[in-house]
Amino acid sequence: MIVPYPAGGGVDVMGRLIGAKLSIALGQQVVIENRGGAGGMIGTRDAARAAPDGYTVVMLLTGLSLGSNTGYDLNKDFAPIGVVASTPIIVDAHPSLPAKSLADVIALAKKEPGKLSAGTPPAPTINYFAAQLFNLLAGTEITVVTYKGTGPLTTDLLGNHVPLGFNTIPASISNIAAGHYAPCFAIAPTVTIGGKAATVSYAGFVADSIGGLYQINAVVPATVTSGSAVPVVVTVGTANSQSGVTMVVQ
């Protein structure tokens, strides 16, 4: 399974959870390969060039269909298996930032335009577009600093090299629970983390990152002969949130 983002980020977490469940269901090890860079486009391009034999799948996020000269065509090079996760984009803040709400963040940003910075993975990730759209809607000039993925972004957030981060819940939840980020602002109508509701969204602004599992070049055979392919249904999730993922294994 190709994960087109660095290890330690939200997509990596999702990929490893899915890979572990698939390994059990398929009776063979699913190897996770992190190929980060260019907002996921490098790993996605590598996946598009893989042999269409059913042995390579890729985790893709909303936004990877955007941009020109990507080196792949999502409609032609991949076949969707299923949606595996959806997570709101949240704004993580280092405890040293003197802000207790999004209104405080906006006030700080407007007081000294361009001085406040926020980290995101690069375009074409939803995190990046969420940061830019937030600037547009709030009338701020927060400087957007791009990282290879949410993993490197998390490292700099913890080290206070960047005071804000437009991040995903999987990449943030352990640090939120440990109190390393304070506060956490949701860019979604309702988000509950650790039993506590995050601050409500700004002006109805909602940003969600949706992750899906894809196979290469529509490898599902039109005619399945006995012994050549076995359909396997894998369910990943909890009683409250399940995703059915179906893939063909030769």
| Percentage helix, strand, coil for the chain under 3-state DSSP, each rounded to 5 | 30, 30, 40
Tell which residue, 84, 25, 42, has the closest CA to residue 213. Answer: 84
Long-range residue pairs from 31-35, CB within 8 A, at least 24 positions apart, any chain? 31/1, 32/1, 32/3, 33/1, 33/2, 33/3, 34/3, 34/5, 34/6, 34/7, 35/2, 35/3, 35/4
Asked if 44 and 4 count as a contact pair (C-beta separation under 8 A), the reply is yes
Predicted local confidence at residue 72, as pLDDT: 82
- The model's pLDDT over 137-167, given as tens digits with 9 standing for 90+, comes to 889 999 999 988 888 888 999 999 999 998 8
Predicted local confidence at residue 171, as pLDDT: 76
Which stretch of DSSP H or E encloses residue 16? helix 10-26
Predicted local confidence at residue 240, as pLDDT: 34
Q: What is the spatial distance between Cα 156 and Cα 246, in angstroms, rounded to a whole number?
A: 37
Whether residue 4 is preceded by a cis peptide bond, meaning omega within 30 degrees of 0, is no
- The model's pLDDT over 13-55, given as tens digits with 9 standing for 90+, comes to 888 988 999 899 889 999 999 998 877 888 889 998 988 888 8
Asked if 124 and 67 count as a contact pair (C-beta separation under 8 A), the reply is yes
**Positions of the chain with pLDDT under 50:** 197-203, 218-250
For residue 59, what are the β-bridge partners?
A: 213
Q: What is the spatial distance between Cα 249 and Cα 228, in angstroms, rounded to a whole number?
A: 9
Residues 6 or more apart whose CB falls under 8 angstroms from that of 14 comprise 59, 84, 85, 170, 211
Domains and CATH numbers, the chain: 2-86+209-249 (3.40.190.150), 88-197 (3.40.190.10)
pTM beyond 0.95, yes or no:
no
Predicted local confidence at residue 220, as pLDDT: 44
> Helix H segments across 59-123?
74-77, 102-111
